[in-house]
Amino acid sequence: MIRGERITLRPLDVDQDLERAHCWVNDLEVTRFLGFEGPLTRHQEHEILARERDPEQDIMLAILTEDGTHIGNCGLHHISRTSRKAELGIMIGDKRYWSQGYGADVVKTLCAFGFVRMNLQRIELGVFGHNPRAQRCYTKCGFQVEGRFRRSIYKAGEYRDEIRMAILREEFAAQFPERVPEGMSET
Ligand SMILES: CC(C)(COP(=O)(O)OP(=O)(O)OC[C@H]1O[C@@H](n2cnc3c(N)ncnc32)[C@H](O)[C@@H]1OP(=O)(O)O)[C@@H](O)C(=O)NCCC(=O)NCCS
């Protein structure tokens, strides 16, 4: 279990989580912001959740609210031990929980885990140009825009821009000192 301020992150449990996750990845209002092509069958979603992961390279977690409701999934992917960096991913699949600050708590909790527990020095992500809620969420968490890949994704009949954002460990420590141990080294 990884605890944030309001949320808790726990390992995925395929048996327990599959039905919800399968609904979310087939909800067009959710998937219009995600980088995969749906729809996914129950079997395909099962394969994704049950895939054997090397926790040194890929971590996927369930997001729980204060009362234990599972509202989405998140993770650190493409973890590089050499470059000490990872790609952050998040999906709050239950739309009733959007724009209530849960996403920002998840992102900060994952960053603290990555920087403090995994000793990363950089966390990066990609977000679509037509997803201002996610951009605002990442900006609140201290991520900076590093570039815009114009028309790099073809999604639901339209070409979309991808914005690349990232945060470095010292930037996170300076903005959220309460989330890291005092004196955490810069690099
Ligand atoms: C993106 C996501 C993770 C953000 O989590 P969240 O809990 O909704 O985000 P937060 O409440 O922490 O922050 C959202 C911010 O965006 C703002 N916002 C909401 N809609 C907005 C819009 N259309 N334009 C600009 N800002 C918007 C909110 O007001 C809030 O800012 P504030 O705290 O300053 O008021 C979540 O909405 C989600 O999973 N969406 C579906 C899938 C997705 O987009 N995943 C990310 C792919 S990169």
CATH class (in words) of the domain with range 2-179: alpha beta
Q: Look at ligand 1, atom 36, and give the residue with the nearest C-alpha.
A: 92
Angle, vertex CA 112, rays to CA 108 and CA 116, nearest 5: 170
Distance CA 157, CA 123 (A): 30
Indicate which atom in ligand 1 lies nearest the CA of residue 29: 41
Q: Look at ligand 1, atom 10, and give the residue with the nearest C-alpha.
A: 101
Report the 10 Å Cβ neighbour count for 169: 22
Distance 185 CA to ligand 1 centre (A): 31
7 Cβ closer than 6 Å to some ligand 1 atom: no
Q: Which amino acid is at 125?
A: L
Distance CA 70, CA 149 (A): 33
Distance 68 CA to ligand 1 centre (A): 21
Angle, vertex CA 121, rays to CA 118 and CA 127, nearest 5: 100
* Ordered alpha helix ranges (H), 35-123: 42-50, 102-112
pLDDT (0 to 100) of residue 11: 95
Write the DSSP symbol of residue 113: I
Q: Label residue 95 by pLDDT band (50, 70, 90).
A: very high
Q: Label residue 171 by pLDDT band (50, 70, 90).
A: very high
Are the beta carbons of 85 and 124 closer than 8 angstroms? Answer: yes
Nearest to 63 by CA among 10, 27, 138: 10
Query: pLDDT digit string (tens) for 106-147?
Result: 999 999 999 999 999 999 999 999 999 999 999 999 999 999
Q: Please list the helix, strand and coil fractions of the chain in percent, rounded to the nearest 5, in that order.
A: 35, 35, 35
Domain ranges, ordered by start, for the chain: 2-179
Angle, vertex CA 89, rays to CA 112 and CA 35, nearest 5: 165
